[in-house]
Amino acid sequence: MTRSIISLNSGSSSIKFGLYHLEEQGPVHVAGGKLEGIGTAPRIRIHSDTGEILLEKSWGEGTKDGGAGLTHEPLLSELYDWAHDHLQDHAIVAVGHRVVHGGGRYWAPRLIDEALVAELDTFSPLAPLHQPHNLAAIREIARKAPHLVQVACFDTGFHHAMPGVATRLPLPRAYAARGMRRYGFHGLSYEYVSARLATLDPALAQGRVIVAHLGNGASLCAMRGGASVDTTMGFTALDGLIMGTRTGMLDPGAVIHLQLQEGLSAHEVESMLYRRSGLLGLSELSSDMRSLHASDDPRAAEAIESFVWTAARQMGALMVSLEGLDGLVFTAGIGENDPVIRAAICARLAWTGLVLDEAANAANAPVISSPESRVIVRVIPTDEERQIALHTFSLTQPFMDAAKGDS
Residue 267 marked ligand-binding: no
Considering the complex, state which of residue 22 and residue 99 has its C-beta at the smaller distance from ligand ADP.
99
User: Residue 369: CB partners within 8 Å, gap ≥ 6?
Assistant: 354, 355, 356, 357, 360, 375, 376, 377, 378
Least separation, in Å, of the C-beta of 217 and ligand ADP? 4
Does the footprint of ligand ADP cover residue 217 (CB under 6 A)? yes
Distance CA 289, CA 345 (A): 15
List the Cα angle 368/370/372 in 5-degree steps. 150
Residue 134 marked ligand-binding: no
Does the footprint of ligand ADP cover residue 109 (CB under 6 A)? no
Considering the complex, state which of residue 143 and residue 290 has its C-beta at the smaller distance from ligand ADP.
290
Q: 315-321: list long-range contacts, CB under 8 Å, 24+ apart.
A: 315/210, 315/212, 315/220, 315/345, 315/349, 317/232, 318/210, 318/220, 318/222, 318/230, 318/232, 319/208, 319/210, 319/222, 319/352, 321/166, 321/222, 321/229, 321/230
Q: Are strands 149-154 and 90-99 parallel, antiparallel or unpaired?
A: parallel
CB 190 within 8 A of CB 228: yes
Residue 333 marked ligand-binding: yes
Least separation, in Å, of the C-beta of 28 and ligand ADP? 23
Active site residue 155: yes
Distance CA 208, CA 335 (A): 19
Residue 364 marked ligand-binding: no
Considering the complex, state which of residue 93 and residue 289 has its C-beta at the smaller distance from ligand ADP.
289
Least separation, in Å, of the C-beta of 312 and ligand ADP? 18
Does the footprint of ligand ADP cover residue 338 (CB under 6 A)? yes
Least separation, in Å, of the C-beta of 340 and ligand ADP? 8
Please select the residue that binds ligand ADP; options are 12, 77, 337, 352, rule is CB under 6 A: 337
User: Residue 131: CB partners within 8 Å, gap ≥ 6?
Assistant: 99, 100, 101, 120, 121, 123, 124
Does the footprint of ligand ADP cover residue 288 (CB under 6 A)? yes
**290-309 footprint of ligand ADP as x/- string (CB under 6 A):** x-------------------
Residue 323 marked ligand-binding: no
Closest residue to ligand ADP using C-beta atoms: 333
| Catalytically annotated residue among 155, 201, 230, 326 | 155
Please select the residue that binds ligand ADP; options are 332, 368, 380, 389, rule is CB under 6 A: 332
CB 214 within 8 A of CB 317: no
Q: Are strands 208-214 and 218-224 parallel, antiparallel or unpaired?
A: antiparallel
Which region holds residue 218: left if phi is over 0, alpha if psi is between -120 and 50, else beta?
A: beta
Number of residues this chain uses to bind ligand ADP (CB under 6 A): 12
Residue 288 marked ligand-binding: yes
Least separation, in Å, of the C-beta of 242 and ligand ADP? 11
Binding site, annotated residues for substrate: 98
Binding site, annotated residues for Mg(2+): 9, 384
The binding site for ligand ADP (CB under 6 A) comprises 215-217, 244, 288-290, 332-334, 337-338
Catalytic residues: 155
